[in-house]
Amino acid sequence: MPKFLIVEDEANIRRQWRGLLESENHSCQEAEDIFETLELLIKNQNDPEDFDLIILDHHLGSETGLDAIEAIEQKVGKGYCQYRVVVITGHSNRNLATEYVKLGSIGHLLKPVSPAQFWVTIEAALERRYIYIEQKEDWEKAYEVLENLGILESVDKLRQVNVEVNEQYEILRATYEKLLEELEKSKGNEQEIGEAYRRAAITLNKSPGSIDSILPFLQPFQYKEAFWKDTENLFQSDRLGFYILQTYLKRIADNPKSLPIKLIAGTDNYYEYRVGSAFRLYYRKDGNVISLERFGHKKLQEKIIKYLREN
């Protein structure tokens, strides 16, 4: 589920927004000023569970939401707020709204905020973030697997003897290059961008291929039957996620600490590793031995963690 940061100096309003979000089982954290905001963001900026949206009030005591965005960009990283901020103001001001849009705002609400208005804006903002940021990152990560093919000798051997695997990677390359062409032609049109990503995903899912292409990427690890079943389901239902998994397996094999991981509470050496924007890899580590346990969409997070705790 999406993770939110609520930045508002009035505690009762923070509770109101948090109550709305938690009623739909969304994860929330709160900050009442810029200092607390930076503390939370700096703490979480390298965490795989990064904030999906920041709900930001314009009036923060003697400071403003504009000041907050400037501080975030300086301390956390330039571009962090892009397609991540929903601003809430107490009055209608077109010039002010334009300033926030220039700084990355993807939603604007006027107080007092009704639950209906709140949800329409939040859901639209999440959809825009998915279109402009998350899908872009996922395709870039999936395409990265092509750069790894020359590095893995076993992949080269597999490609030489398996025509289907070779065609599979060439389809990925051609599909991605076609996607880039269509995105450029869209000239920022939101509907056309969404359609371009959908067409590309359909092309991959309908393309021929073999799940065996992942085998060389699995060589450095042990893996359980449940993980292999998850991978088979992924290959059939979401070929893009299948390629993203290959890229991350290469990263983990090269450097297990290259990206942050999270120990799953209540388990013995089980870890969760964010793979792209939507997937989670779960593995167990004993010394230098990594055993791949499960893999699935973030929507299955609670179900998979329950499985790991019980097994």
* Residues 17, 29: Cα–Cα separation, whole Å: 11
On the 0-12 / 13-18 / 19+ scale of CB atoms within 10 A, 243 is buried
pLDDT value, residue 152: 67
Q: Is residue 236 part of a domain?
A: yes
**What Cα–Cα distance (Å) separates residue 62 from each residue in 58, 59, 95, 256?**
11, 8, 20, 44
Q: Is residue 308 part of a domain?
A: yes
Q: How high does pLDDT run on average in the chain?
A: 86
Supply the range of the domain harboring residue 288.
214-311
* Residues 66, 56: Cα–Cα separation, whole Å: 9
Query: pLDDT over 70 for what percent of the chain?
Result: 91
pLDDT value, residue 260: 55
Domain of 84, CATH number, reads 3.40.50.2300
Domain boundary among 129, 151, 177: 129
Amino acid at 282: Y
For 23-50, b/e burial (b = at least 16 CB within 10 A) is eeebebbbbbbbeebbebbeebbeeeeb
124 and 219 both lie in a single domain: no
106-162 pLDDT, tens digit each: 899 888 888 999 999 999 998 888 888 888 989 999 998 887 776 666 766 666 656
11 and 116 both lie in a single domain: yes
Residue 262 has pLDDT above 80, yes or no: no
Q: Please report which confidence band the pLDDT of residue 230 belongs to, taking 50, 70 and 90 as the band edges.
A: very high
Count of domains for the chain: 2
Q: Look at 175 and 1; give whichever has higher pLDDT.
A: 175
Domain boundary among 104, 129, 154: 129
For 166-203, b/e burial (b = at least 16 CB within 10 A) is bebbebbeebbeebeeebeeeeeeeeebbebbeebbeb
Q: Is residue 182 part of a domain?
A: no
121 and 222 both lie in a single domain: no
Predicted TM-score (pTM) of this structure: 0.79
Q: Is residue 164 part of a domain?
A: no
31-50 pLDDT, tens digit each: 999 999 888 888 654 553 47
pLDDT value, residue 48: 36
Domain of 258, CATH number, reads 3.30.2310.20
265-275 pLDDT, tens digit each: 777 788 888 88
**What Cα–Cα distance (Å) separates residue 4 from each residue in 78, 87, 262, 296?**
19, 13, 19, 22
* CB-CB contact of 51 with 26 (8 Å): no
* CB-CB contact of 223 with 294 (8 Å): no
* CB-CB contact of 48 with 72 (8 Å): no
Q: Is residue 144 part of a domain?
A: no
pLDDT value, residue 95: 81
Q: Tell me the mean pLDDT in the region 60-80.
A: 88
